Amino acid sequence: MNPSGLEALIEALRCLPGIGPKSAQRLAYHLMQHDRAGAARLGDAIQHALQAIRHCQRCNTFTELDICERCASPRRDPSLLCVVETPVDMNMMEQTQAYQGLYYVLMGRISPMDGIGPRDLALERLLARASDGLVREVILATNYTNEGEATAHYIMAMLKARDINVTRIARGVPVGGELEYVDAGTLAQALRERKLLGSS
- Please identify which residue in 71, 166, 179, 190 interacts with Zn ion, judged by CB under 5 A: 71
- Interaction partner, residue 97 (a second copy, Zn ion, none; CB < 5-8 Å by kind): none
- Interaction partner, residue 16 (a second copy, Zn ion, none; CB < 5-8 Å by kind): a second copy
Binding mask 84-113 for a second copy (x = CB under 8 A): --xxx--x--x------------xx-----
Our finding on whether 72 is near a second copy (CB under 8 A) is no
CA distances from 17 to 13, 20, 21, 164, 173 (A): 9, 8, 12, 38, 27
| Nearer to Zn ion among residue 63 and residue 145 (C-beta) | 63
| SS (HEC) of the chain | CCCHHHHHHHHHHCCCCCCCHHHHHHHHHHHHHHCHHHHHHHHHHHHHHHHHCEECCCCCCEECCCCCHHHHCCCCEEEEEEEECCHHHHHHHHHCCCCCEEEEECCCCCEHHHCECHHHHCHHHHHHHHCCCCCCEEEECCCCCHHHHHHHHHHHHHHHCCCCEEEECCCCCCCCCCHHHCCHHHHHHHHHCCEEECCC
- Interaction partner, residue 167 (Zn ion, a second copy, none; CB < 5-8 Å by kind): none
- Interaction partner, residue 199 (Zn ion, a second copy, none; CB < 5-8 Å by kind): none
Our finding on whether 135 is near Zn ion (CB under 5 A) is no
Our finding on whether 9 is near a second copy (CB under 8 A) is yes
- Interaction partner, residue 140 (a second copy, Zn ion, none; CB < 5-8 Å by kind): none
CB of 78 to Zn ion, least distance (A): 12
Our finding on whether 44 is near a second copy (CB under 8 A) is yes
Our finding on whether 150 is near a second copy (CB under 8 A) is no
Q: What is the binding site for a second copy (CB under 8 A)?
A: 1-6, 8-9, 11-13, 15-17, 25-33, 35-36, 38-53, 62-64, 68, 86-88, 91, 94, 107-108
